[in-house]
Structure 1
Amino acid sequence: MPVLNRIAGFAEDMKTWRRHIHMHPELGLDCHGTAAFVVERLREIGVDEIHTGIAESGVVAVINGQGDGPVTALRADMDALPMDEATGADWASTVPGRMHACGHDGHTTMLLGAARYLAETRRFRGKAVLIFQPAEEIIGGGRLMVEEGIMDTFGVDEVFAIHTDPFADLGMLRTTPGPIMAAVDDFSITLTGKGGHAAYPQDCVDPIPAALALGHALMSIPARNADALKSLVVSLTQVHSGSAFNVIPEKATLTGTVRSFDAALQDRVEQRFHEIVEGIGTTYGVKAELHYQRDYPATINHAEQAAFAAEVAREVTGATRVVDDLSPEMGSEDFSFMLNARPGAFLFLGQGVGPSVHHPEFDFNDEAAPIGASFLARLVEKRNGTEVA
């Protein structure tokens, strides 16, 4: 079965919705305008319940099927990124310094499309719960929505989500049981010495040699503290210090990110950070302060739900366009919090090969929206049973 005929019939509406959202990007938890647009569409669609203000601007809608049955949740994220757009599209961002560079405008549109179909047809038992989430890129709106009790409040049994994929052909659906995206930890380190004239280093405590040694030591963690068969990335992404050729600075700062899948390894890496930072501080005579923050856990698909999602994907897009053993990647997703709360699966939907997500020339491919909406709708119909009167 290809794209559902009814969804194909309102593909132009979906394109209009998506481009409106794209033109009006919002950041973090402040997705109130996008949420209002979503609520307006949901009211037109005729869902049974709309709940707003969850995690500040999150929305949850409920569509009742025919009779008792499972409660299947579908999630889309709504927030954009703090960057300028360079697509040149007629529907480009109207807000300087903000753009939908990760396809969340498309995710929201696909879920709205699935909602419209499900509300019209009701060819399922139980309930479909539609989660429109803010702040995936920062803070972790998924975590906040789970902490505010959406899984219990709406009786969710399982939860599913898809993410646009600019590294795969249009219509490819890719997933895997087990880990699919990494846990992410962030770190910032401040080294404080004693500044002064660069001609008299003996009167100073220079933080720059300490910063150089620290960067080298941190880069050794994957090679010397991790099992070579376990994925680990330590990336030093910022180093800041100094303001002139002839001044030894007072401070140096380093920031970066850590990606991993294994919880024990994650603990070990954090421990090594503390040991190395303390050791460098002592060795170079500087005050060394570490802020190490665990952000999102690894996104780990449940085997049964991943297999089921792949089965539905084969029905919608064809067996040759489904990958069910995708190698895990080192990006991260706050959908992980929802998968920690309920069984479910996360998938990637190919939109055609093009600029990467988080690139100023990225734009969601509107041709992917009917495919994604059909997949989400069929997930509910298949999971909740279509054999109804």
Structure 2
Amino acid sequence: MRKYLGAALGLALAIGTGGEVLAGDRAAAVDKALPVAREAYQFLHRNPELGKKEFKAHDYLVSRLKALGYTQFVASPSAPTAVIAVLDTGRPGPVVALRAEMDARPLAAGAVEPEGHSPRSEIPGVMHTCGHDVHAAILLAAAALAQENKARFSGKLVFVFQPAEEVAGGADDIVRDGVLDKLGVQKIFAQHVAPGLPVGTITISPGDTLAGSNYFNLTLTGRGSHAAAPQDGDDVILGAMKVAEEISTLPARRIDQANRPMVVSVTRFVADSGASNVIPPKAELSGTIRAFEDLTKAPKDGPALQDVIVARINAVSAAQGLKAEWSLRQASPPTRNDPALFGALLPSLTKAFPGKVDTTPSRGMFSEDFAYYTPHYQALYFGLGVAKDGLGEGGVHTADYTTHPEAFRYGLTLMTLLAQLGTTGDAAWR
């Protein structure tokens, strides 16, 4: 597989999965820019960096952008590793941003990237398991293509290489700093690799597409006891297990899932007395809650979701003789695709894209900090197929994640089309 991946990444195929050929000179422009993506992907994948520490990625991207002729860079004070480059076409038109992430993720304890991967992470315990290296490499190639074909676009293009998508302080910091507002950005586009989706297919649907993320901590306390006499205490571990089960199954039995979908997952459970014959007096649980609404706000016809959860926790905890302490941290809101922008762009995009554009309505419980941009600018967030010949099947956030090399062509074509349609409203390559 190593030999295959290394060779295949250099391929420049113009034929899509359905046999379509990219129109005219656009194919040649994509071919010419693909080596930029290939080189960047190799570098970024070998040198993964965690959120807010993307120093090598920052320096590499700035260096490459300058070599491509970019001279206007804008800093985001709260996100110093961000790279934001501006291309002024010199022609009247809107300001359109294209965004990609830069950060990698820590691997699970004991996990390593498989030997067969090529390129392969050179940093122990850290890997691009979410495809951000793919996104950033494609965006750099899009910047190269746009610079060389400036007359094909109008207005200004803003290339946003964003840090810290996997941790707090990426998109939210850039939005808070007002950088894109000062540049006059009106529309913003992004894509994300989609394991299992065939190469040559992209997905997009209007409205809410990804859930908002929330993180909770729950401490349950009661009376500890000797393990031989659980009746002398509150059996905190058993009680905590019942609470964990109750909140995990709560959405299916106490929430209208058709209209208020929600997932509660307990991801951490700690209850340690330090001895095998002692039942501890405390248990700590934490996890995530995904939903398409603000958990703290009540709709007109029902209670806030957090209120439903906390009420159930208190009832079950009290029945076990336990005291519950709950805290909630709200993270990314739901990611929303602008229906008007979807309607305006999709007819032309569908005709010009060389593969399949799947507009089947879809929502997922994953979350993305691209959501912080969507209340401020017209936004569309696409899924990019990366699966072919056994590659691109491993799930994100796992060491098995891979991308088929041909996906780069379609990702670059997509970003180029979005830049063109976003600034000129026309997909023709004249």
Q: Normalising TM by the smaller chain, what interval?
A: over 0.9
2:123 to 91, 95, 98: 95
2:203 aligned with 1:179, yes or no? no
How far is the alpha carbon of 1:264 from its aligned partner? 6.8
CA 1:322–1:150 in 2, change beyond 3 Å: closer, same or farther?
A: same
CA 1:264–1:256 in 2, change beyond 3 Å: closer, same or farther?
A: closer
Question: Which stretch of structure 1 is more off in the superposition, 157-166 or 282-291?
Answer: 282-291
Q: Which residue does 1:118 correspond to in 2?
A: 146
2:277 aligned with 1:246, yes or no? yes
**Could you report, residue by residue, the CA deviation over 1:162-195 in whole angstroms, capped at 9, with x for unpaired residues?**
0111121102010100011111111121112333
| d(CA) in 1 for partners of 2:309, 2:321 | 18
2:199 aligned with 1:170, yes or no? yes
Residues 195 and 250 of structure 1 are in contact (CA less than 8 Å); yes or no, is this contact kept in structure 2? yes
Residues 113 and 121 of structure 2 are in contact (CA less than 8 Å); yes or no, is this contact kept in structure 1? no
1:73 to 85, 90, 97: 97
| d(CA) in 2 for partners of 1:65, 1:196 | 73
**Could you report, residue by residue, the CA deviation over 1:191-215 in whole angstroms, capped at 9, with x for unpaired residues?**
1233342123344343213202212
Give the aligned length.
388
| d(CA) in 2 for partners of 1:25, 1:52 | 22
Which runs of structure 2 are paired with 1:23-102 in the superposition (5 Å)?
23-54=46-77, 55-83=79-107, 84-88=111-115, 89-102=117-130
CA 1:164–1:312 in 2, change beyond 3 Å: closer, same or farther?
A: farther
Residues 140 and 296 of structure 1 are in contact (CA less than 8 Å); yes or no, is this contact kept in structure 2? no
How far is the alpha carbon of 1:305 from its aligned partner? 1.8
How far is the alpha carbon of 1:302 from its aligned partner? 0.5
CA 1:140–1:333 in 2, change beyond 3 Å: closer, same or farther?
A: farther
> Which stretches in structure 2 are left out of the alignment for 5+ residues?
1-20, 299-303
**Could you report, residue by residue, the CA deviation over 1:326-352 in whole angstroms, capped at 9, with x for unpaired residues?**
411111111011011111110001011
Q: Which residue does 1:292 correspond to in 2?
A: 328
| d(CA) in 2 for partners of 1:245, 1:312 | 66
CA 1:333–1:306 in 2, change beyond 3 Å: closer, same or farther?
A: same
Residues 309 and 345 of structure 1 are in contact (CA less than 8 Å); yes or no, is this contact kept in structure 2? no
> Which stretches in structure 1 are left out of the alignment for 5+ residues?
none
How far is the alpha carbon of 1:53 from its aligned partner? 4.9
Which runs of structure 2 are paired with 1:1-389 in the superposition (5 Å)?
2=22, 4-54=27-77, 55-83=79-107, 84-88=111-115, 89-122=117-150, 123-230=152-259, 231-242=261-272, 243-263=274-294, 267=298, 268-318=304-354, 321-352=356-387, 353-385=392-424
| d(CA) in 2 for partners of 1:11, 1:47 | 18
How far is the alpha carbon of 1:377 from its aligned partner? 1.7
CA 1:330–1:265 in 2, change beyond 3 Å: closer, same or farther?
A: farther
SS of structure 2 residue aligned to 1:63: strand
Residues 202 and 358 of structure 2 are in contact (CA less than 8 Å); yes or no, is this contact kept in structure 1? yes
How far is the alpha carbon of 1:241 from its aligned partner? 1.5
**Could you report, residue by residue, the CA deviation over 1:6-50 in whole angstroms, capped at 9, with x for unpaired residues?**
221232332121011001111111112111111111101112411
Given residue 135 of structure 2, which amino acid in structure 1 is its aligned partner?
A: H
Question: Which stretch of structure 1 is more off in the superposition, 113-122 or 272-281?
Answer: 272-281
How far is the alpha carbon of 1:357 from its aligned partner? 1.2
| d(CA) in 1 for partners of 2:358, 2:296 | 28
Given residue 58 of structure 1, which amino acid in structure 2 is its aligned partner?
A: A
Residues 85 and 159 of structure 2 are in contact (CA less than 8 Å); yes or no, is this contact kept in structure 1? yes
CA 1:348–1:140 in 2, change beyond 3 Å: closer, same or farther?
A: farther
Given residue 229 of structure 2, which amino acid in structure 1 is its aligned partner?
A: Y
SS of structure 2 residue aligned to 1:185: strand
Identity of counterpart residues, as a percentage? 31
Residues 77 and 108 of structure 1 are in contact (CA less than 8 Å); yes or no, is this contact kept in structure 2? yes
**Could you report, residue by residue, the CA deviation over 1:311-336 in whole angstroms, capped at 9, with x for unpaired residues?**
45424433x61111241111111101
**Could you report, residue by residue, the CA deviation over 1:48-102 in whole angstroms, capped at 9, with x for unpaired residues?**
4112454131111100013221000110011111104423224211111100001
CA 1:150–1:164 in 2, change beyond 3 Å: closer, same or farther?
A: same
TM normalised by structure 1 equals 0.93
CA 1:371–1:383 in 2, change beyond 3 Å: closer, same or farther?
A: same
Instruction: Detail structure 1 runs of 4+ shifted over 6 Å in the superposition.
Output: 386-389
